Chain A
């Protein structure tokens, strides 16, 4: 029995090529940023996002019509898309920017994603082909800004559920049950589609791309676009003044008893 019109899910997973988590970060000599001549890979939270999309398909089967991966970056970023395809995404979109261009800011990223979604949904022949779930990483490990998902939800006027550690989709009711990681523990939310979700660490453990899937990924389509095609301006709104390493840790001192500790604290002006 074919699921009826409103009961299909189209997932968009934005991914970012970031400095690999295992690399020892060093500030560049000009102190304008970090040394990027190091190993890069898909942002770990984005891997979790791709994994969640693939797991949703495994659970909901034919209800998940499409899983599209998208990235903004120079030519090298295509590697990240291929990884997403190897993990189980159906197709990918590459918004290509020149190698020398600065990394786009979160608002520009969010505007781009909105443009892509609106463009796609406008062209969609049927209601059921529209993108209705976006899963992003909560933050990228290079700038740790953690705002893109929220901005996107705001621009689209969609619901948002950030820092998700559990996700359950009821396609029939067009509802999503999310558990969010908050300081006090877990917050349970019931949201309505369309929805923007950002992933937290405990949502899942991403799979290894198996060799047959890596080979199959070769045949999956990657659409190429530019920011100009979407009418988005990438002019940076922020200027980085200086990037420096944190001061080296200086050794502490030992105190003999509580009185001495209190005295030292008073001396330090606390």
Chain B
């Protein structure tokens, strides 16, 4: 019994050291409560309030613009401004750097709630928080943090530039080169499939400073739009159309030496570690997408009557709906547990890969069913149900393809079992 006590209080101390909110409510909890493990759907008061606030923002401000943004393939600037105004662009950032100093789970909650309404808006918030902000928080020097985090929290959108024409899953085969020139670096090359790039002002660019060292030459550079980053092409996509995905060209792009994040040759390490966390963010996006599609379609099935009864009450339909609900719950538990493991400082790579993989599968399945349940109304663009299905496809592709996730998980299993 005493060892349980010791590990539980140690866990509480570790959590408070991380500055993250505790898994229990912020009101005084008794020691007995603290020792009892909580269910996976336990959130702090602040996390619950955040969920409510983002849900309202998404419903009132984002929802009316979703269709228009999708049809026009463009993100409404007022939505981006709204995200900044709500404090959703510096969720984990320290208060003295202008952020909300909330937990990683709080960020995951925000991403999920946004995705229920618009997965495009969700991914904008996700990339900005879990990739760009986190790189600076974890690997930036105090000066870099003080300079960039407040700007990122208040007004400047960030973008994460790793992939290229010939390097996606094989990220470290990237070809963008950086050559030293006095106290600057000159970058040449191009990046492809870059989210947020059309609206972003801050770019984290991965370039190789010494190809003879292979992946150990990859370095993370922070650049701003006005340094001369060119948008070569904006992609026209199947889904998440409002989220900008562009090809960027760097033509003798001059970046000061001070803008190297994490040190020379540390880029590969940064990329791997950060994408592990970002994975959970995408899981949350896919989860929200599935839930959003479900929430739009199921009430319709209890209103639409055929053969004298609501179609949702026919056993065949009811069974399908129940199975979709099971799928969503399982994706939810995987996602939030991975988030808590990360908060606790425990290993979470395998769980994050599982969450991302499964959530993207569930998103496809449930959104597809949602269309079928709504019939013709689901197939036409007016209700927005079909949008979820189109948006879901990217879940199996970006931030680590499904095959790569399975690979990652398999390696862990091999290590454990052989």
Hey, which bits of chain A sit against chain B, CB under 8 A? 41, 78-79, 82-83, 86, 208-215, 217-218
Contact B85–A210 (Cβ < 8 Å)? yes
| Chain A residues, CB < 8 A from B57 | 208
A40 to chain B, nearest CB (A): 11
CB neighbours of B136 from chain A (8 A): none
Interfacial chain B residues near A78, Cβ < 8 Å:
27
Please report the C-alpha to C-alpha distance between residue A173 and residue B86 in the assembled complex, in whole angstroms.
Answer: 36
Instruction: For the complex, give the distance between the alpha carbons of A31 and B66 in Å.
Output: 42
A211 to B101 alpha-carbon distance, docked (Å):
9
**A and B contact pairs by CB, cutoff 8 A, 6 listed:** A82-B45, A82-B49, A86-B49, A209-B49, A211-B86, A214-B100
Task: Return chain A residues, CB-CB under 8 Å to B95.
Answer: 212, 215
Q: How far is the CA of A217 from the CA of B48 in the complex (A)?
A: 13
Which residue on A lies nearest to B57, using beta carbons? A208
A78 to B: closest C-beta gap in Å? 7
A218 touches B87 (CB 8 A): no
Contact call B27/A214, Cβ cutoff below 8 A = no
Kindly provide the distance from the CB of A136 to the nearest chain B CB, expressed in whole angstroms.
22
Give bound CA distance, A215 to B100, whole Å.
7
Q: Which residues of B contact A (CB under 8 A)?
A: 26-27, 45-46, 48-50, 52-53, 56-57, 60, 85-88, 91, 95, 99-102, 106, 110
| CB–CB A214/B101 < 8 A | no
Minimum CB–CB distance from A92 to chain B (whole Å) comes to: 13
Docked Cα-Cα span, A55 to B46, in Å, equals 23
Which residues of chain B have C-beta atoms less than 8 A from A79's C-beta?
45, 48-49
CA distance A80 to B85 in the complex (A): 22
Q: Is the CB of B56 within 8 A of A214?
A: no
Report chain B residues within 8 Å CB of A208: 53, 56-57, 60, 86
**B312 CB, min distance to chain A CBs, angstroms:** 15
**Are the CB atoms of A218 and B46 closer together than 8 Å?**
yes
A41-B52, A78-B27, A218-B26 given as contacts; is B100 within 8 A of A211 (CB)?
A: yes
Give Cα distance in the complex from A82 to B102, angstroms.
Answer: 16
A266 to B216, CA, bound (A): 94
Q: How far is the CA of A218 from the CA of B106 in the complex (A)?
A: 15
Residues of A within 8 A of B91 (CB): 211
Which A residues are in CB contact (< 8 Å) with B99? 212
**A78, A214, A217: most-surrounded residue (chain B CB, <10 A):** A214
A215 engages B45 (CB within 8 Å): no
Roughly how many angstroms separate A213 CA and B91 CA in the complex, as a whole number? 12
Q: Interface SS of chain A: helix, strand, loop or mixed?
A: helix
The answer to whether A212 and B53 touch across the interface, beta carbons within 8 angstroms, is no
- Which chain B positions have C-beta within 8 A of A83? 49, 52
Residues of A near B85 (CB, < 8 A) are 210
B50 contact set on A, CB distance < 8 A = 211, 214
**Inter-chain contacts of B110 with A (CB < 8 A):** 211
Least Cβ distance of B129 to chain A in Å? 11
Q: How far is the CA of A86 from the CA of B48 in the complex (A)?
A: 13
Q: Are B45 and A211 in contact (CB under 8 A)?
A: no
CA distance A217 to B85 in the complex (A): 17
- Which A-chain residue is minimally distant from B99 (CB atoms)? A212
Of B26, B27, B48, B100, the contact of A212 (CB 8 Å cutoff): B100
Q: In angstroms, how far is the closest chain A Cβ from the Cβ of B394?
A: 26
A214 to B88, CA, bound (A): 12
Besides A41-B52, A211-B106, A211-B110, 9 new A-B residue pairs in contact (Cβ under 8 A), listed by A number = A78-B27, A82-B49, A208-B57, A211-B86, A212-B95, A215-B100, A217-B49, A218-B26, A218-B45
Q: Which residues of B contact A82 (CB under 8 A)?
A: 45, 49
B contact residues around A86 at 8 Å (CB): 49, 53
Of all A-B residue pairs in the complex, the 10 with the closest CB atoms, nearest first, are A211-B87, A211-B100, A210-B87, A212-B87, A212-B100, A210-B86, A214-B49, A209-B53, A215-B100, A208-B57
Please, which residues of chain A bring their CB within 8 A of the CB of B106? 211
Q: Known: A41-B52, A208-B57, A210-B53. Is A215-B46 also a contact (CB below 8 A)?
A: yes
Residue pair A211, B88 in contact (C-beta under 8 Å): yes
Contact of B102 with A211 in the complex, beta carbons under 8 Å: yes
Residues in B with CB closer than 8 Å to A210 are 53, 85-87
Option from B48, B88, B101 in Cβ contact (under 8 Å) with A215: B101
Contacts of B88 in A (CB 8 A): 211
A62 to B106, CA, bound (A): 33
Q: Which residues of the other chain, B, contact A41 by a CB distance below 8 angstroms? A: 52
**Nearest opposing residue in chain A for B101, CB measure:** A215
Q: In the complex, A217 Cα to B57 Cα: how many Å?
A: 19
Q: Kindly report which residue of chain B lies nearest to residue A79, judged by CB atoms.
A: B45
CA distance A208 to B48 in the complex (A): 14
Complex Cα gap A218–B48 (Å): 13
Chain B residues, Cβ within 8 Å of A218: 26, 45-46
Residues of chain A with a CB closer than 8 A to B87's CB: 210-213
Per the bound structure, the CA–CA distance linking A214 and B47 in Å amounts to 9
Bound complex: CA of A67 vs CA of B213, how far in Å?
Answer: 62
Q: For the complex, what is the distance from the CA of A41 to the CA of B50, rounded to whole Å? A: 14
Could you tell me the distance between the alpha carbons of A209 and B88 in the complex, rounded to whole angstroms?
A: 11
A214 touches B26 (CB 8 A): no
Q: Which of A210, A212, A213 gathers most chain B CB within 10 Å? A: A212
A86 vs B88: C-alpha distance when bound (angstroms) = 15
- Taken together as a complex, chains A and B put the C-alpha atoms of A83 and B102 apart, in Å, by 16
Per the bound structure, the CA–CA distance linking A211 and B49 in Å amounts to: 9
Distance of A211 Cα from B26 Cα, bound (Å): 16
Across-interface contacts of B102 in A (CB, < 8 A): 211, 214-215
Report the minimal beta-carbon distance from B93 to chain A, rounded to whole angstroms.
10
Most A CB contacts (10 A, CB to CB) among B49, B50, B57, B102 go to B49
Bound-complex Cα distance A212 to B98 (A): 9
**Using Cβ atoms and an 8 Å threshold, which residues of chain B touch A213?**
87
Instruction: Report the bound CA distance from A82 to B27 in whole Å.
Output: 11
Give every chain B residue within 8 A of A217 (Cβ-Cβ): 46, 49
* Residue on B nearest A20 in the bound complex, by CB: B52
